[in-house]
Structure 1
Amino acid sequence: MQTLLSSSNYYCFGLKKGIENTLKRVKIEGNIKVVVGIDGLPLAKSSSSQFWPILAYLDSYKEYIFLIGLYHGHKKPADSNDFLRDFIDEAEDLVINVSIHAICADAPAKSFILKIKGHTGYFSCTRCLAEGEHVGSTCFPFKDSNSRERTHEDYINRRQEEHHVGDSLSDLIRIPGFDVVKSFPLDYMHLVALGVMRKLIHFWLHKGPLTVRLPSWKIKKISTNLMFLKSAIT
């Protein structure tokens, strides 16, 4: 166990140990692809106490999730490199027949891990070099549709300084074969469900021009249909 802050602790369960335990249950021939998930988890509404687990599974075997490391504190880890140190050290060593295939994290966790701008800021797009445009109180990262794609080399060489926060890069670049751009899937929850879709619903129900707002009878019908579908949604 290591202490990252004076009031916090991190316990390393081990990437190698998790892979070995999974391989006792399944048979994999060739390269072992590891999918990692990282996020913060509040423990109670009345407290700032929180967990930051590092979870993983072997690609094609999602049912066998294992814990790589677990942080507990009253604020998120001060530095993502300290938080990920044990995981990255192990991943560096396990390069024969093992690869970190992807790291899944929501938009806020991703910006914390990579030490980059949050998803609502200028130059925040992790897929292209677009600056973005401020409309009202929101920055939309699609002002220039012809922007060049962002690459792993762009990140390593800090070719767009405005994209970065602080003086250091994520130590994930030490992992052989890991691409910090392509190996982070886009976050559906923040980009679509709580992003575009949420805005559209607000426009259709409350804030949009009268020409696009739905009449009350349509809203009632949609609600009835959603309640009907509720029992089939897990």
Structure 2
Amino acid sequence: MSSNQRKSFFDLSASGQKKRLKAAQDVPLPGSGSQSSSSRREEDVPDSPVPLSQPHPSSEDQALGHCPRSDELELCPSASSSDEYEIEDENNVEDSSEESSNDDDHDDDIGIREKLRNWASQYKITATALTALLHILTSHICFSSLPLDGRTLCRTPRNINTVEVEPGHYSHIGLKSTLIKLMSGVSHTINTVILHISTDGLPLFKSMPGELWPILGSIKNVCSLSKIVFPIGIYFGKKKPIDCCLFLKEFVEESIDVINNGITIEGRKFQVLIQGIICDTPARSYILGTKSHTGYSSCIRCKQEGIYDKGRMTFPSVNAPPRCHEDFLIQRDLDFQVSESLLVKIPGLDLVKNLPLDYMHAVCLGVVKKLLLTWTSGPVNKCKFPSRLVNQLYSFVLCHNLSAYCSILGFPNTI
């Protein structure tokens, strides 16, 4: 063999084959352009030179000392690169599955919180009881992400915006926001939302002074919402608000806005109408700025001076001239209207026709109570029923379901 004749690749020793491969890697292939040697090393030259199918070199190749080109050899990919690809794929699968699992856990967490909030609201669970339940649930690993306090779960605000209304404070909850929340998702075909408004004072404690005056509302022309009473504003103080205008200011301002501009719910615009303000007689005279029901010129329906008879104020005339809404606007009768009322600014509200008489006090606790007392304890031989008839009526009331005759709940007292 001549000195310039090159040995075949397969005739070289192991160290010679490594040197030949290294030299071949440093020589650029035709058409490789600006491809770097590192990329050629990764693509064309495997880490292991063991071929899967190794073609035998021809005699011509042996004579010239040429080794087969790297693209003519089907080499087995290296174990290290294969493992690297497999590990990378496994990591990708694990990452994607972990992200999917985290999303599912987050959705489940939101769902269980919403269910607990609805359950606590529906069954009137106290904050103390809800907190105790959360402490039990969070002791299990499945519910470890739940909060420990019921106020956190129900998103109870820490601070409440209040304004000072002597001699207490008033917090306005909102009319428009409550209407949007109640009517969202409710099927209805109405174009106008008809509201009934109510307010009254009630004591909260027996051992200390304090009055609560809520402004409440209800939607009357949506069947599924007609029995829901929602708060609009709440006042609390040692006594009722001294200035009624300050008490009603925010309610009246928001009422004017929603009546003039309407409300938009789920892309649909609705008109708003306050059909009536329902109060008992003392509360009605308070918000209207009129004389109390014990005054001589206190009748809200007609213009007549009352007569004080047997410890009560009476209005015997049935032909007295009626009052009208315009009388409130110009304060025509100063004996009747003693102070200004902001309710006159609410559009479409008639302060005579849209403030009905209180049925509970006027009829149930007024006329009906007086009739029952007259029939059972009145003068003998005039109006009083015989004892036998009274006992029969009492037995009838006890033996029959009162809900079939009226909507009054509770068991009646003895007659």
- Decide which of 268, 279, 300 is 1:126's aligned counterpart: 300
Which residue in 2 is equivalent to 1:90?
254
Compared with structure 1, are the counterparts of its residues 192 and 10 closer, same or farther at alpha carbon in structure 2 (3 Å cutoff)?
A: same
Name the SS of the counterpart of 1:161 in structure 2.
Answer: coil
Letter in 1 for 2:230: F
Which residue in 1 is equivalent to 2:191?
30
Name the SS of the counterpart of 1:113 in structure 2.
Answer: helix
For normalisation by structure 1, the TM-score amounts to: 0.90
Instruction: Indicate if the aligned counterparts of 2:163 and 2:169 stay in contact, CA closer than 8 A.
Output: yes
Please list the CA deviations of residues 82-109 of structure 1 after superposition, one character each: whole Å capped at 9, or x if unmatched.
1111000111112232222111111111
Letter in 1 for 2:331: R
* Deviation (angstroms), 1:170: 0.8
CA distance in 2, matches of 1:210, 1:158: 50
Q: How many aligned residue pairs are there?
A: 230
Judge which range, 76-85 or 202-211, deviates more.
202-211
Compared with structure 1, are the counterparts of its residues 231 and 150 closer, same or farther at alpha carbon in structure 2 (3 Å cutoff)?
A: closer
CA distance in 1, matches of 2:402, 2:218: 30
* Deviation (angstroms), 1:47: 2.8
Which residue in 2 is equivalent to 1:77?
241
* Deviation (angstroms), 1:207: 4.1
Instruction: Indicate if the aligned counterparts of 1:34 and 1:102 stay in contact, CA closer than 8 A.
Output: yes
Compared with structure 1, are the counterparts of its residues 120 and 222 closer, same or farther at alpha carbon in structure 2 (3 Å cutoff)?
A: farther
Judge which range, 202-211 or 128-137, deviates more.
202-211
Which residue in 2 is equivalent to 1:44?
205
Please list the CA deviations of residues 111-164 of structure 1 after superposition, one character each: whole Å capped at 9, or x if unmatched.
1111112223322221121322222111112x2211122100112222222212
For normalisation by structure 2, the TM-score amounts to: 0.52
Structure 1 position 4 matched with structure 2 position 165: yes
Which of 1 and 2 has higher RCO (CA within 8 Å, sep 6+)? 1
Instruction: Indicate if the aligned counterparts of 2:328 and 2:344 stay in contact, CA closer than 8 A.
Output: no
Compared with structure 1, are the counterparts of its residues 231 and 152 closer, same or farther at alpha carbon in structure 2 (3 Å cutoff)?
A: closer
CA distance in 1, matches of 2:390, 2:185: 49
CA distance in 2, matches of 1:196, 1:122: 21
The structure with the greater share of residues assigned to helix is 2
Please list the CA deviations of residues 198-223 of structure 1 after superposition, one character each: whole Å capped at 9, or x if unmatched.
22222222244641112222222221
Name the SS of the counterpart of 1:89 in structure 2.
Answer: helix
Compared with structure 1, are the counterparts of its residues 82 and 199 closer, same or farther at alpha carbon in structure 2 (3 Å cutoff)?
A: same
Name the SS of the counterpart of 1:197 in structure 2.
Answer: helix
Letter in 2 for 1:15: L
Structure 1 position 218 matched with structure 2 position 389: yes
Letter in 2 for 1:57: S
Mapping of residues 142-157 of structure 1, within 5 Å: 143-157=316-330
Structure 1 position 163 matched with structure 2 position 344: no
Instruction: Indicate if the aligned counterparts of 2:220 and 2:226 stay in contact, CA closer than 8 A.
Output: yes
Please list the CA deviations of residues 150-192 of structure 1 after superposition, one character each: whole Å capped at 9, or x if unmatched.
1001122222222123xx3210101111111111121011211
Name the SS of the counterpart of 2:376 in structure 1.
Answer: helix
Letter in 2 for 1:135: D
Which residue in 1 is equivalent to 2:32?
none
Compared with structure 1, are the counterparts of its residues 194 and 63 closer, same or farther at alpha carbon in structure 2 (3 Å cutoff)?
A: closer
CA distance in 2, matches of 1:231, 1:124: 36
* Deviation (angstroms), 1:52: 0.8
Sequence identity of aligned pairs in percent?
Answer: 36
CA distance in 2, matches of 1:229, 1:163: 46
Instruction: List structure 1 segments (4+ residues) > 6 angstroms apart after TM superposition.
Output: none
Which residue in 2 is equivalent to 1:62?
226
